[in-house]
Amino acid sequence: MAWWETLGMLFGILTVLLLAGIPAAFAFLAINLVGAVVYLGGEPGLMQVVRNGVAAITNFSLTPIPLFVLMGEVLFHTGVAMKAIDAFDQLIWRVPGRLAVVAVVAGTVFSAISGSTIATTALLGSLLLPEMLKRGYHPSMAMGPIMAIGGVDMLIPPSALTVLLGSLSGISISGLLIAGVMPGIVLAAAFIAYIVIRAKLDPKLAPRFEHARVSGWARWRPLVVYVSPLVAIFVVVIVAMSAGWATPTESAAIGALATLVMAVVYRSLSWRALLEALKGTAAISGVILFIIIGATTFSQILSFSGATNGFVELVQSTAASPWVVLGMMMLVLLVLGCFIDQISMMLVTLPFYLPLVQHYGFDPLWFGVMFLICMQLGLLTPPFGMLLFTMRSVAPASISTAQIFRAVMPYVLFGLAMLGLVALVPGLATWLPGVLLGK
């Protein structure tokens, strides 16, 4: 069977299974079983699937994933996150579109302590969206910033998907975590500027309202008490990795322990909250690790069948410039992001992309950050963006799905602009890892 026939068969089966509503984990498992029988030698191939699965999920480099997820789950279930939101609300009461700005600022801080984009969006949506709508905010001004900053969560460490991308691609996990910081912060700043300008130009989008004003130490105390510890945990995790004091796994453990200690100090950590946090961590991590089981075998099947080499040779034979190839790679990711989840995007594309990255000499960290931006955009793009569905679950029934789609589109354009900016100015992604890690 020719390599292109193999490729068509495997991806045809995958497409049918996903369209039938089969979870990605089971879809890839089914493909692996078929591929193992056809290409890896029947029963020995099936045994190889089992060995690959065990080896994949016992990989020590994946340990940060549940630890990073636990940090966010503890933060949300103990109510510490709400205290941080109140601190920001009290500090910036004069800013136009104040609650929308609070959503972006709080989401950025939560991104530095949470490994889950969905959890960030669900928390901000359930807490801030009803209040914004009650105070007369236009639905687009209320929902857009919450979804947008949830996507940025993927770029700012800790990020479970960043760890997964580093593990599957062989890119330095610590380098990739740090490389997303600058693009994430720049995106958040752009969101704030956009919100303030829109609110000034059209005050009806975000009506002003009277706010209980406090001054002096009373105004700054919540920020110092409830926000600075979150920032401190982020700094400790990054510094521990960049200084070589701890591996990514050890840094994640330090961050998780510090988050638990912080919740205890605030007297917010009950047994019920801890149980809910552990259950949420187990659920999210289980899904991720189950999908990883299929990653190694899927790549192996593509390699054994000749599909990977055939595709790479086809691209190389076109004599296209590296920029054209890179642009096509990013375009494929953006299209896939409209229809499948981020983990499936990695499993489908990395077996083909990594040989091309090596052949054309692309900087791995630079490429990895652009890959992350494309996955972040996939969370926001209709019709199947995960954060769109998360917003649908917390938004009132009176808000249509079309309104949710329209609300997020300006922020998708910002993400596309950031993708282009990182492509043209690689230093946005590579400068900070170079300074902190010497990479």
pLDDT in tens, the chain (439 residues): 677 777 788 778 877 876 777 776 677 778 878 888 877 777 777 787 777 777 766 767 677 878 877 887 887 788 777 787 778 777 777 788 888 998 898 888 877 666 567 767 877 787 788 888 888 899 999 999 999 988 887 888 777 788 888 888 888 888 998 899 999 999 999 999 999 999 999 989 988 776 666 677 777 888 888 888 888 888 888 788 777 788 878 888 888 898 899 889 888 888 888 898 888 888 777 777 776 676 667 777 777 777 777 877 787 787 788 999 999 999 988 888 876 778 778 878 888 899 899 989 999 999 999 999 999 998 888 876 778 877 887 788 888 888 999 999 999 999 999 999 999 999 999 999 988 877 5
Tell if the pTM clears 0.85, that is, is over it: no
Amino acid making up residue 41 = G
Cα torsion 102, 107, 112, 113: sign: positive
CA within 13 Å, CB half, 73 = 23
pLDDT of res. 185: 92
- Alpha-helix runs per DSSP H in 243-341: 248-265, 271-305, 307-317, 322-337
- In degrees and rounded to multiples of 5, residue 148 shows phi and psi of -65, -45
- CB of 374 within 8 A of CB of 412? no
Q: What whole-number distance in Å separates Cα of residue 294 and Cα of residue 271?
A: 35
pLDDT digits (tens, 9 = 90+) for 274-294: 898 888 888 777 777 776 676
Domain, as residue range, for 411: 3-437
Mean model confidence pLDDT for the chain = 83
- Measured CA to CA, the distance from residue 300 to residue 290 in angstroms comes to 17
Q: What pLDDT is stored for residue 214 in this prediction?
A: 67
Considering its fold, how many domains does the chain have in total?
A: 1
User: What pLDDT does residue 316 have?
Assistant: 75
Residue 24 CB neighbours (<10 A):
22
Tens of pLDDT, residues 98-140? 889 988 988 888 776 665 677 678 777 877 888 888 888 999 9
Per-residue pLDDT reduced to its tens digit, 193-239: 999 999 999 989 988 776 666 677 777 888 888 888 888 888 888 78
Give the largest Cα separation in the chain, rounded.
Answer: 75
Cβ atoms 308, 35 nearer than 8 A: no
Alpha carbon distance 358, 261 (integer Å): 43
Give the tokens for residue 81. 């996150």
d(CA 191, CA 189): 5
DSSP 204: G
pLDDT of residue 419: 95
